[in-house]
Amino acid sequence: MWGIFVVIVLGLVQGASEFLPISSSGHLVVLYNIFDIKGDTILLSIILHIATLLAVLVCYRKQIFELIKKPFCTTNRKLIVATIPTVIIALLLKNVVENSFGGDFVIYGFLITAIILIISQNIESGRNNNKNNEFLSKTNNIQYNNITNIGVGYGQAVLIGVAQGLAIFPGISRSGSTIATGLLSGVNKNDAADFSFLLSIPVILGGLVFELKDIVKYGADLSFNLGELFVGFVVAFISGLLAITVMLKLVKNKKLTGFSIYLFLLVLFLMLNKFVLGWF
C-alpha cells in the first residue's frame, strides 16, 4: 500500500511539474528525500517519462501529424536548430549535472526559475502595454495559424534551445525556461508555449535513450513492482494532460506570477528544513 501511495504522488508530481514551470526533476529530488528513496529508480523514471511523452503526443496529435506530413517544413527545421544546443550542453555538463542531484543545488535551481518567471512576465507585459513597441509587436509577436510555420525565428530557437539545455539541472524548469526565453526574445506567447511543448518531445526521447542505456549497462532493480509502475504511468499521463491544458491557458492569460510565488515559498521551506527543521 505504501508503494502505491508513493508512485501515485511521484506520478502526479512528474506529470504536472514536467509541463508546469516548477521543475519536475527538482520536485522528484525533494520527494525522493522525503520518502527516503535510495534504491534504483531508473525504471520508474523511464515509465514516468514515457507517460509524459504520451501526454504531449495526445495533446498535440493534430499538430504533430501536420509536422510529420511535412518533414522539411520551417517548424521542424527550427525544432532541430533548438535541439542542437540542448544536446551539446547536456553532453558537456553531464557529470556536473549528475553531481548536482545529490547536493543542495535544487534550492538554487528553484530560486533561478522563480526569478526567470518574474522577469519574463514583467518584460512581456511591459512590451505589450508599451505603444512605442508597436513595430516590435508586429514583427516578432506574430501568431501563425499554420503549425508548420511557427512564429519563432532561428535565432530565437537557438536561445530557447540553450535555455532548455541549462534546464537539465534540478530545480530549473524546462518549460518555464523555454517559454520565458521565448517571451523575452519577442515570441508570441501562444507560439512560445507551442514551441516549448513540441520541443519537449526530442528531449524526453533523448532522456529515455540514456536511461535505457543505463539499464542495459547496469541492469534495473525493481524498487517498485509492475502494478505500482502501471499506476504511476496512468497518474503521470493524466496529470501531464491536465498540466499542458492548464499551462496553455495560463500562458495566454499571462498568469505565471503565481508559480514564482510558489517557488519562492518552496525555497524558503527547503532552507528552513535544511538549517532548522531537519525533517529530510
Tell me the C-alpha distance between 104 and 33, whole Å.
12
**Is residue 84 scored above 90 in pLDDT?**
yes
pLDDT of 50: 93
Domain ranges of the chain: 2-277
- State the DSSP string of 7-69: HHHHHHHHHHHHHTTT-HHHHHHHHHHHTT--S--HHHHHHHHHHHHHHHHHHTHHHHHHHHH
Average pLDDT for the chain: 88
Q: How confident is the model at residue 153 (pLDDT cuts 50, 70, 90)?
A: very high
Quick one: average pLDDT of 47-75? 95
Quick one: average pLDDT of 115-135? 71
pLDDT of 207: 85
Determine contact, residues 254/124, Cβ cutoff 8 Å. Answer: yes
Tell me the C-alpha distance between 100 and 149, whole Å.
38
pLDDT of 209: 86
Tell me the C-alpha distance between 265 and 77, whole Å.
39
Tell me the C-alpha distance between 29 and 27, whole Å.
5
- Per residue in 199-242, pLDDT (tens digit) is 999 999 988 888 888 777 777 666 788 899 999 999 999 999 99
Share of the chain above pLDDT 90, in %: 68
pLDDT of 213: 80
Determine contact, residues 240/19, Cβ cutoff 8 Å. Answer: yes
- Per residue in 13-47, pLDDT (tens digit) is 999 999 999 999 999 999 999 998 877 677 888 89
pLDDT of 220: 66
**Is residue 134 scored above 60 in pLDDT?**
no
Determine contact, residues 190/32, Cβ cutoff 8 Å. Answer: no
Determine contact, residues 192/182, Cβ cutoff 8 Å. Answer: yes
Q: How many Cα atoms within 13 Å fall on the side-chain side of residue 159?
A: 15
CA distances from 104 to 15, 41, 101, 239 (A): 23, 20, 8, 27
Determine contact, residues 125/134, Cβ cutoff 8 Å. Answer: no
pLDDT of 169: 94
Of 89 and 132, more confident: 89
pLDDT of 37: 84
**Is residue 145 scored above 60 in pLDDT?**
no
Tell me the C-alpha distance between 139 and 11, whole Å.
41
How is residue 134 annotated by DSSP?
H
- Out of 60-64, 99-103, 119-123, give the one with best mean pLDDT: 60-64
Tell me the C-alpha distance between 202 and 256, whole Å.
25
Tell me the C-alpha distance between 45 and 2, whole Å.
18
